C-alpha cells in the first residue's frame, strides 16, 4: 500500500507539472517481489528480525521506493513529456490496485475475527 501511495503522489506531481517546460514525467519503480523474497533487495528500513524465518522489509511509507523518469509516448514542443491521458489512466490503475488490496485486507481481518470467535 505504501508503494501505491507513493505512486499516486508521483503521478499527481506529474499532472501538476503538465504545463512546466522540459518537465519529464516520473513513475515509481515497481517492487520486484522475487528479489525481495530471495533477499536480494536492499533493506533500507533497518528492521530487526528476531527469527531466521522473518522477512526483511522496509520501514515507513513514503520515500522508500525508487522514483524513475518515465516519459510518456510523446512530448510537447516545449519539452514537457507529460501526457494527461496516460497519467489519468495510471492513476485509475493505481486506484483499482488500492481498492483490491484494501478489500483483501478487509477479508483477512474478517476471517481472523471469525476464527477468534469460533463461529
Residue 89 predicted with pLDDT over 70? yes
Per-residue pLDDT band at 76 (split at 50, 70, 90): confident
Give whichever of 18-22, 50-54, 106-110 has the largest mean pLDDT. 106-110
Residues 6 or more apart whose CB falls under 8 angstroms from that of 58 comprise 2, 43, 44, 45, 47, 64
Beta strands per DSSP E along the chain: 26-28, 67-69
| Arithmetic mean of pLDDT, 84-108 | 94
Residue 11 predicted with pLDDT over 60? yes
| Arithmetic mean of pLDDT, 76-104 | 92
pTM for this one?
0.68
Per-residue pLDDT band at 74 (split at 50, 70, 90): confident
Predicted confidence (pLDDT) per residue in 29-63, tens digit: 887 778 777 776 554 444 566 777 766 655 444 45
3-state helix, strand, coil in the chain (%, to 5): 45, 5, 50
CA dihedral (94, 72, 61, 32) positive or negative? positive
Among candidates 83, 77, 80, 57, which has minimal Cα distance to 3?
A: 57
Question: By percentage, how much of the chain surpasses pLDDT 90?
Answer: 44
**Is 82:13 a contact under the CB 8 Å cutoff?**
no
Amino acid at each position: 500500500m505504501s508503494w501505491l501511495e507513493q505512486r499516486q503522489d508521483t503521478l499527481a506531481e506529474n499532472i501538476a507539472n503538465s504545463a512546466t517546460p522540459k518537465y519529464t514525467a516520473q513513475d515509481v519503480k515497481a517492487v520486484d517481489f522475487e528479489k525481495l523474497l530471495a533477499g536480494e533487495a536492499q533493506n533500507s528500513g533497518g528492521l530487526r528480525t528476531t527469527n531466521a524465518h522473518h522477512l526483511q522489509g522496509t520501514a515507513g511509507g513514503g520515500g522508500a521506493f525508487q522514483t524513475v523518469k518515465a516519459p510518456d509516448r510523446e512530448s510537447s514542443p516545449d519539452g514537457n513529456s507529460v501526457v494527461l491521458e496516460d497519467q489519468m489512466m495510471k492513476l485509475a490503475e493505481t486506484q483499482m490496485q488500492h481498492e483490491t488490496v484494501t478489500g483483501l485486507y478487509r477479508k483477512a481481518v474478517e476471517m481472523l475475527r471469525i476464527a477468534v470467535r469460533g463461529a
